[in-house]
Chains A and B, each alone.
Chain A
Amino acid sequence: MVLLVVIIFGVIAWLEIPGMVQKKYWRELIVYCALLLPEFVLSLLLTMGVNFPAVSTAIFEMVKSIFGVPS
């Protein structure tokens, strides 16, 4: 599975990055890499079975602890 994630992200980068470099879209390239790299790391961690906190539940619990329980 880890290999599959590496291949998928590799193919995505291989398909899109050369076009941006050719057109000299540097700003776009920075944004693209700033998004894709953390996503790559997150996806790798997910496939390796690392347990992430449930995002929406965490937001809910945080709001609940500040404002109380909505009824």
Chain B
Amino acid sequence: VVLETGKIDSLQFIFLMVGFIMGSSVVLMPGQAAAHDAWIAILIGLAEAILFVLVYSILGSRFRNKTLIEINEVVYGPLFGKLISLAFLGYILHLGSLVIGDFKDFLSVTVLPQTPYAIIVIFITLVCVYAVKSGIEVIARCGQILTVIIVGIFLIAVIFLVKDINLKNLQPILEVPVKDLLVAAHGTASFPFAETVVFIMLIPFLKNHKNIPITVVKSLLIGGCILVFVAIRNASALGNIAGICNYQNFQADRLIDVGHFLSRMEILTVIAMVTMGFIKITILLYGVVLGSAQLLGLRSYRLLVIPIAILMIILSLINFKSFSENVVFAFQFYPIYAPLFEFGIPLLTLIVAMIRGLPKCWK
């Protein structure tokens, strides 16, 4: 049964991936453990992540019209394939709930302190539900328009912040011990770069199946460069406090004050961040919903959108008891746990497929 008939072009795919990478990383900057050397950690993490994304993009280009769920069934057989797919979908579902949780924490700390958590997460997810129900083409068009607008907002924020930027704040370069830098770099590889593994669920809907790995790496590099740029801006504008700020972008944009009349611009950043979050949550929700429908052999994935969105909402509310638990999980556990699904499952599948010479028609 063909569950999705929509098609997207390479450019839309690139925009979606850039939006996805910026997603929650504009809220919680990756590489924060490396303080003012975060930009170096992001660069190293980007290099590591290229290896990660190459694995799933090569897998996607071998099985051109199949998502990972269908690939697993072909490669491992129906039973074992379903088990591996279930683990992968569990990871995407959990990731979706973590991202919703990040936005819930961010909004309740910064702009909506009196609003109950449940209301924040319900309204964030409601928009995503509508987008996923509308199909992949609508999601792709949203990505195309919103990513351009948001990158524009970030550039405007940089221009307004120029007077506060002091590049000397980046010195001394490589002050962080090498081990800590590499740990931070691995953290940036697992969050956000390798999280793009969910795009393996979108690769079959590309109009042009040529050069899929190049398209994926290109998107990764664009997203990575934007993050490096943002990290340099934050570290040079915030100085010593960059390492201890939970929300660096928000904090940096609070400094904007043009001629004492153009200030309090951080609300623009909040809007931009929530919009990026919409793209990330939508893609994750789409991945889980489509994958679950394929796993269970359903005739439509749209019927699963609301139940799975509610599951994400409930999980996001009970994931952690406090923000500090979230931080400990993100820094100590996530860089170990996430690569199992981001890199481990696609790599294993690719190796088994190569050994078994699958798919038969692949040249």
Q: Report which A residues bind B (CB closer than 8 A).
A: 12, 16, 20, 25, 27-28, 31-32, 35-36, 39, 42-43, 46, 52-57, 59-60, 63-64, 69-70
Contacts and interface: CB of A to CB of B under 8 A. Distances in A.
B317 to A, nearest CB: 7
Contacts of B299: 25, 27-28
Given A27-B297, A27-B298, A54-B318, 9 more contacts: A28-B299, A35-B308, A39-B314, A54-B320, A54-B325, A55-B318, A55-B319, A56-B319, A59-B337
A39 B310 contact: yes
Interface stretch (B46-54, B61-69, B107-115, B328-336): B328-336
A70 B98 CA distance: 20
A25 B94 CA distance: 28
15 contacts: A25-B298, A25-B303, A27-B297, A27-B298, A28-B303, A36-B306, A36-B310, A43-B314, A54-B320, A54-B325, A56-B94, A56-B319, A56-B329, A59-B333, A63-B333
A31 B298 contact: yes
Nearest to B319: A56
B329 A57 contact: yes
Contacts of A42: 314
Contacts of A39: 307, 310-311, 314
Helix, strand, loop or mixed for chain B's interface? helix
Contacts of A57: 319-321, 325, 329
B329 A35 contact: no
A56 B303 contact: no
Contacts of B304: 31-32, 35
Contacts of A54: 318-321, 325
Contacts, number: 77
A63 B314 CA distance: 23
A10 B66 CA distance: 36
B120 interface: no
Interface string B110-149: 0000000010000000000000000000000000000000
B208 interface: no
Contacts of A64: 333
Interface string B159-172: 00000000000000
Interface in B83-101: 94, 98
Nearest to A34: B307
Contacts of B178: none
B79 interface: no
Contacts of B94: 56
Contacts of A53: 318
Nearest to B122: A8
B315 interface: yes
Contacts of A36: 306-307, 310
Contact of A27 (B118, B296, B314, B332): B296
A56 B310 CA distance: 17
Nearest to A33: B307
A60 B333 contact: yes
Interface string B280-297: 000000000000000011
